[in-house]
Amino acid sequence: MAPVTFSVGDRAIHTNWMYGTERICTIQDIRGPLECGGVFKGEAETLATVRFSTAVTHNVTLSSLKPYESPKYPPGIIHEKFYLDCPLEEIKEVEDHILEMGTTQEESKLKEEMNDNDSISILAGEGRDTALLGIDPKDMDDFEDKCNMREEYHRLIAKSPQGGRAEDSYGEYWGTDGRTVKELKYRDHASVEGVEELDSRDRIMIEATVKNKGQNYMSATTKYGALYIDMKFTKYVPEIGEKFKCIMGVRGPTGNLPWKCYRIV
């Protein structure tokens, strides 16, 4: 007998021992203990009729069910505690250090002089009036590009279907009446050119422009943000400034390289 008491109408997770898969179901009916046959002769099991999201019903044993806990947050929403527990500042420092490894002494000295000049303007009370005048137009363009990339990044995640993701392959949720079970729109299993949506593994096919080729990794730019490229793709990546197509996946919104290249197309 199952150690947990179930009732008709309860949500549960059914485990298929043969295939090692789990599916969310709703208990439709529970029947009395029934004696097993075959190698399990002499043992008793309680049978139940369950309904899956595909509207298919099956007769299963209560021992193959375990309680289902409703998600505390909607699909795709990560609680802020997740970020608070992660040393994001330390991660950012490491990423910044990696990016600065290619900086020459002349560039570092020039940056220090620019910072000193800005500090003098601020201490003299002229910082607010002269700040914009001292900004290089190229820096303004880069800043605007980064803002646009960040907006496109969040827009892509928001518009992509939440059903069929690798960690929640069934994509079910309760309706507004608290009784009906509805399904989220499913994602595609593979990235397809021209489809501006993430697939079930949070990946997308996109065109990128090579930005940098370093000793430890390469980077590129896309409309959704900067792209990290492993050195194993060296022979497939064109020269700096040239474009190529690839399949990239989400690494996370923090840091300077929110995307990772998984395949060159």
Q: Return the CATH superfamily for domain 137-171+186-265.
A: NigD-like N-terminal OB domain (2.40.50.500)
Q: How many CB atoms lie within 10 A of CB 253?
A: 12
Two tokens at 177? 């009446």
Candidate ranges 13-22, 34-43, 230-239; pick with highest mean pLDDT:
230-239
- ∠ CA(161), CA(166), CA(167), 5° rounding? 100
**Token match 């840091």: residue?**
255
Which residues does 167 contact at the CB level (< 8 Å), separation at least 6? none
Cβ–Cβ under 8 Å, residues 229 and 219: yes
Please report the DSSP string for 186-205 in residue order.
BPPSS--TT--S--TTSEEE
**pLDDT at residue 164 above 90?**
no
In Å, what is the CA distance from 83 to each residue of 95, 113, 155, 239? Answer: 17, 35, 21, 37
Candidate ranges 17-31, 43-57, 68-82, 181-195; pick with highest mean pLDDT:
17-31
Answer yes or no: pTM beyond 0.75: no
**Token match 């046959």: residue?**
37
Which residues does 8 contact at the CB level (< 8 Å), separation at least 6? 27, 28, 29, 30
Quickly state the pLDDT bin for 168 (edges 50, 70, 90).
low
Q: Which phi-psi region, left, alpha or beta, contains residue 64 (left: φ > 0; alpha: ψ -120 to 50)?
A: alpha
Return the sign of the alpha-carbon dihedral for residues 166, 172, 174, 175: positive
Quickly state the pLDDT bin for 128 (edges 50, 70, 90).
low
**Please, is 142 exposed, middle or buried when counting C-beta atoms within 10 Å of its C-beta (0-12, 13-18, 19+)?**
exposed
Q: Per-residue pLDDT tens for 226-249? A: 999 999 999 999 999 999 999 999
3 state DSSP class of 220 = strand
Show me where the domains of the chain are located.
Answer: 11-67, 137-171+186-265
3 state DSSP class of 79 = coil
11-16 and 21-35 strand pairing: antiparallel
Lowest-confidence region among 15-19, 100-104, 193-197, 247-251: 100-104
Q: Which phi-psi region, left, alpha or beta, contains residue 38 (left: φ > 0; alpha: ψ -120 to 50)?
A: left
Cβ–Cβ under 8 Å, residues 48 and 5: no
